[in-house]
Amino acid sequence: MHDLIHDLAQYCKKNEAVTSGPKNMTTDQTNKCRYSSLTSGTEKVKIGLLEKVRGLYMSYGNLSFDKPVKKSCYIRSVVLDNENFTPFPPVLLKFEYLGYLEIHIVECKKLPEAIFGCWNLQSLHFVWCKGFVMLPESIGRLKKLTTLELNILSDLGSLPQSIGDCQDLQILQLHNSRSLRGIPTSIGKIENLRVLRITWRPSLQNIPSEPCGKFNNLKIINLADCHCFQELPSTFACCALRTLNLSCTKITMLPQWVALVDTLECIDLRYCTELMELPKV
């Protein structure tokens, strides 16, 4: 974005977006504020300053609130980017209408059970969270979840079977979780799943060959850089499939069903050094 356009956007949004340390924020600034970025400081944040905020970004420092947060507050989106928030900040679990939660560089072993009381949560993202080992079974209670991203979680060993209860899940993205060895069979129960990205998983050896259901709406399958992956199960023979990425895997041949999927537009087989043959039409 050009500097002049950026300055114009800031000028137009000056009453709706505030970036500041808590001690510098005033009621005049936040009276019409919809997007707030708290970027420094160790002092307590006056909860009244966030009365009308919809989007909240918290980074650096060790921020806390002077009063308990009301569950009925307006906050719908939270991005937390701070390694100093240890353990998991409980304030994030009190936003009843929270729809989007993105967490970066927070050290925690697992999600607190209380987060599954955020009944409206639709998008959940974890990036580079040290020591994150597992998702609890109660994740199946997030009935409105449409996007789940687990990115650079080197200690994540598996996904719970209850992931199949997230019936509205459309995007499942698992990137660079080196300890992940398999995917639960219940994933086949997610009828609305459209995008499955399992990338850079050196330990992943297989995908469930007999899942609990069928992938009727799956459009994108990306298994790039799963170096131990060898065989593509027939359960992925979805009539809606458009993109299949198997680059940098140990797959030796493509199953015959690949040639029979009419909607398939792109197959990526780069660096598949052990591939011996393609299916016959």
Whether 250 is covered by a domain: the verdict is no
* Domain housing 166: 3-198
Whether 210 is covered by a domain: the verdict is no
Bigger pLDDT: 9 vs 139: 139
Angstrom distance (rounded) from CA 150 to CA 155: 11
3-state helix, strand, coil in the chain (%, to 5): 20, 20, 60
For range 46-51, the mean pLDDT: 73
Angstrom distance (rounded) from CA 119 to CA 124: 12
What pLDDT score was predicted for residue 30? 57
Percent of the chain having pLDDT more than 90? 33
Residue 65: exposure state from Cβ atoms within 10 A (0-12, 13-18, ≥19): middle
CATH number at residue 175: 3.80.10.10
223-237 per-position pLDDT tens digit: 999 988 888 888 888
Phi, psi angles (nearest 5°) of residue 46? -70, 120
Bigger pLDDT: 88 vs 190: 190
Q: Please count the structural domains in the chain.
A: 1
Whether 58 is covered by a domain: the verdict is yes
Whether 271 is covered by a domain: the verdict is no
274: tokens are: 């052990």
Whether 219 is covered by a domain: the verdict is no
Whether 70 is covered by a domain: the verdict is yes
Other C-beta atoms lying within 10 Å of the C-beta of residue 165: 19
65-110 per-position pLDDT tens digit: 767 666 667 889 988 887 655 556 566 666 778 999 998 887 777 7
Bigger pLDDT: 240 vs 87: 240
Whether 221 is covered by a domain: the verdict is no
Q: pTM of the prediction?
A: 0.87
Contact yes or no for 69/97 (Cβ under 8 A): no
What pLDDT score was predicted for residue 248? 94
Whether 28 is covered by a domain: the verdict is yes
167 has pLDDT over 70? yes
